[in-house]
Amino acid sequence: MAQSWSIIVLCYNEEGNLSTVLNELSTTLTEKMKVDDFEIIVVNDGSTDNSKSKILELSKNIPQIILKEHKTNLGIGQAIRTGFFAATKENVMAMAGDGQFNIPDLIPHANIDVDTMVSFYRVDKGPYTAFRHFISNFNRWLIQYVLGAKIKDVNWVKIYKKQNLDSIKLELKSSLIETEIVTKLMRNSIKLEEHQTVYLPRLYGEPKGASFKVVSMALLELIKLIFILRVRRVLLGR
């Protein structure tokens, strides 16, 4: 029997992508992975288009959809926090609602070993700008050489065990929250499995991950993260 799943879908003005993403998620979980117990938590992060109406419409045919709303756009870090805190199932995963994660790549991973996290990584990141490549490469350097954890693609989709997530305190609110989670779990001896995935082209809308607001907040929290994971650890002797 497949384990239970909480899948968080991060949504900011993804009206044109939601039908494809949510329907494919539901079909993959039920028909391909044989998952009977799951929830799809859609975090509508202050969308200004018709995303909310589309989510409610889709929930009529997919009763596992749970809508969580931010009245204003708070950013990816806060959206991830909202989704993770709302999750109730054994396996927890967050993905963007832009349709760029290849959902069928989940099929071989219906059941995740205890004390294991699965990280998908992209070889070809498509039409990334030079700036987004810089941010991605910098984050990989940061987590490996400054924070002491090696992972190929910390900014992409990962699957965690809920009991492992619940064992750590989430302190960041920016896009660096995934770096915080991975580093803390690896320090707690959680096993990392990495699997290559296909990076699909966005069908509708524009990418939002490297906006000035997102990057500036991440830079501010970078100092906090280094303090949490390096300085405070030394001061407290652990």
Q: Rounded to whole angstroms, how far apart are CA atoms 181 and 169?
A: 9
Quote the tokens at residue 99. 């349709």
Reply yes or no on whether the pLDDT at 236 is more than 90.
no
Residue 111 clears pLDDT 70, i.e. is over it: yes
Q: Is the pLDDT of residue 113 over 70?
A: yes
Mean predicted confidence (pLDDT) in 31-51: 98
Per-residue pLDDT, 234: 43
Instruction: Please check the confidence at residue 87 and state whether its pLDDT lies above 70.
Output: yes
The mean pLDDT value of the chain amounts to 87
The pLDDT > 70 percentage for the chain reads 79
pLDDT for 169 beyond 90: yes
Asked if residue 235 has pLDDT above 50, the reply is no
Residue 6 pLDDT exceeds 60: yes
Q: What is the mean pLDDT of residues 129-147?
A: 62
Alpha carbon of residue 139 to chain centroid: 15
- CA 123/CA 142 separation, integer angstroms: 19
pLDDT at 134: 61
The ranges assigned to domains in the chain are 5-236
Query: Which has more confidence, 51 or 231?
Result: 51
Q: How many other CB atoms sit within 10 Å of the CB of residue 235?
A: 9
Q: What is the reported pLDDT for 17? A: 97
Better-predicted residue by pLDDT, 143 or 193 = 193
- pLDDT number for residue 176: 84
Percent of the chain with pLDDT over 90: 64
What global pTM score does this model have? 0.86
- For strand 158-161 and strand 116-121, is the pairing parallel, antiparallel, or unpaired? antiparallel
Under the banding of pLDDT at 50, 70 and 90, the label for residue 20 is: very high
pLDDT tens per residue, range 177-210: 988 899 899 989 999 999 999 999 998 887 765 5
CATH fold, domain 5-236, is Spore Coat Polysaccharide Biosynthesis Protein SpsA; Chain A (3.90.550)
